[in-house]
Amino acid sequence: MSDQAAAARMHETSAESTATVDVVLDYARRRALFEDVPLDEPRAREELERVASGSITDGGIGAQRAIDLFEHVLAPACITTDHPGYLSFIPSAPTKAALSFDTVVSASSVYGGSWMEGAGAVFAENEVLHWLAHEFGLPAAAGGVFVQGGTIGNLSALVAARDRARRRHREAGTRAPERWVVVCSSEAHSSIASAADIMDVDVRTAAAGADGRLSGDAVAAVLDECGDAVFAVVATGGTTNFGIVDDIASIAELTRARDVWLHIDGAYGLAAMLVPRTRGLFDGVQHADSVIVDPHKWLFAPFDACALLYRDPAGARAAHTQRAEYLDHLTDKPDWNPSDLAVQLTRRARGLPLWFSLATHGTQQYRDAVEHGIVLARDIADEIARRPALGLVREPQLSVVVFRREGWTLADYQDWSDRLLESQKGFVVPSSHAGEPVLRFAIISPMTTMGLLVEILDTLE
Ligand SMILES: *Cc1c(COP(=O)(O)O)cnc(C)c1O
Report which protein residue has its CA nearest ligand 1's atom 7: 149
Alpha carbon distances (Å) from 41 to 166, 220, 237, 297, 426: 48, 47, 31, 21, 11
Distance in Å, CA 138 to ligand 1 centroid: 21
Distance in Å, CA 325 to ligand 1 centroid: 35
Q: What pLDDT is attached to residue 333?
A: 79
Cα–Cα distance, 438 to 418 (Å, whole number): 15
In this structure, which amino acid lies at residue 173? G
Cα–Cα distance, 122 to 111 (Å, whole number): 9
CA angle 192, 291, 429 (to 5 degrees): 50
In this structure, which amino acid lies at residue 179? R
Q: Which ranges of the chain have pLDDT less than 70?
A: none
How many Å is the Cα radius of gyration of the chain?
A: 24
Domain ranges of the chain: 3-78, 110-351, 363-458
* Inter-residue contact 352 to 124 (CB < 8 Å): yes
- In DSSP notation, 42-67 reads ---HHHHHHHH-----SS---HHHHH
Distance in Å, CA 360 to ligand 1 centroid: 27
Q: What pLDDT is attached to residue 330?
A: 77
Report which protein residue has its CA nearest ligand 1's atom 10: 150
Distance in Å, CA 153 to ligand 1 centroid: 9
Alpha carbon distances (Å) from 190 to 179, 213, 219, 285, 438: 20, 16, 19, 21, 19
**Ligand 1 atom, smallest distance to 148 CA:** 7
Q: What pLDDT is attached to residue 26?
A: 98
Cα–Cα distance, 275 to 298 (Å, whole number): 12
CATH fold, domain 110-351, is Aspartate Aminotransferase; domain 2 (3.40.640)
* Residue of 192, 265, 308, 444 to mutate, ligand 1, most atoms within 8 A of C-beta: 265
Cα–Cα distance, 164 to 315 (Å, whole number): 7
Cα–Cα distance, 216 to 25 (Å, whole number): 52
Of 67, 97, 110, residue with least CA distance to 369: 97
Common-topology check for domains 110-351 and 363-458: no
Q: What pLDDT is attached to residue 324?
A: 85
* Residue of 182, 187, 191 to mutate, ligand 1, most atoms within 8 A of C-beta: 191
**Ligand 1 atom, smallest distance to 236 CA:** 13
pLDDT in tens, 24-77: 999 999 999 998 899 999 999 999 999 999 999 999 999 999 999 999 999 999
Distance in Å, CA 294 to ligand 1 centroid: 7
Q: What pLDDT is attached to residue 454?
A: 98
Coil vs helix vs strand at 336? coil
End-to-end Cα, the chain, rounded Å: 70
Report which protein residue has its CA nearest ligand 1's atom 4: 150
Q: Which CATH number fits domain 363-458: 1.10.3720.10, 3.40.1160.10, 3.40.50.1000, 3.90.1150.170?
A: 3.90.1150.170
Q: What pLDDT is attached to residue 326?
A: 81
Distance in Å, CA 189 to ligand 1 centroid: 7
Ligand 1: residues within 6 Å at CB?
90, 149-151, 189, 191, 236, 240, 265, 267-268, 294, 306
